Structure 1
């Protein structure tokens, strides 16, 4: 016995079946997809690279003459604190050490910006 004729041409009947299969698969994969989140937790490498960039910014501002004399001394102190805290976080990778190093780097960057003439 012959199957009933469809109103769609032959190639569109196949496409219709493919669309149905793809739709069902898409619905099933959407049900099982988990929500991935991006974390921006600092690592030893990112803290060290951030320190190097901030150190270069401080050096550039001193060499260009943008810092006053008292600002250079405060800048050197902030540089030393940031460097020691980054080294501590690199040697002892604990959450509080990363937090202290991040705070020291923020203070160092603020010191670079506030001491300009």
Structure 2
């Protein structure tokens, strides 16, 4: 994982884990520059000591944010958009059920 963020709101504490995928091109077991691969998700994994909602605004980038986290470990989905005629982005980050994604349907052996 690339790293983590942590913070607190009132009595609630939260930690976010960010994903990182890399290819050990030189087979030395250590990630070096140029070995990190592009990700297909902006989802995060979060841990919250209790459920909470946080609403705040950041200056750079100019963004109104709303975070809603469930207690314990959860996958969080981000949604970011720029309303028409506005300079302020709107971002939400919400706990979501765990899901499994398949990039394509399995190809039957008979079609090969």
Normalising by structure 1, we get a TM-score of: 0.22
Q: Specify the structure having the higher radius of gyration (Cα).
A: 1
Q: Which is helix-richer, 1 or 2?
A: 1
TM-score (norm: length of structure 2): 0.22
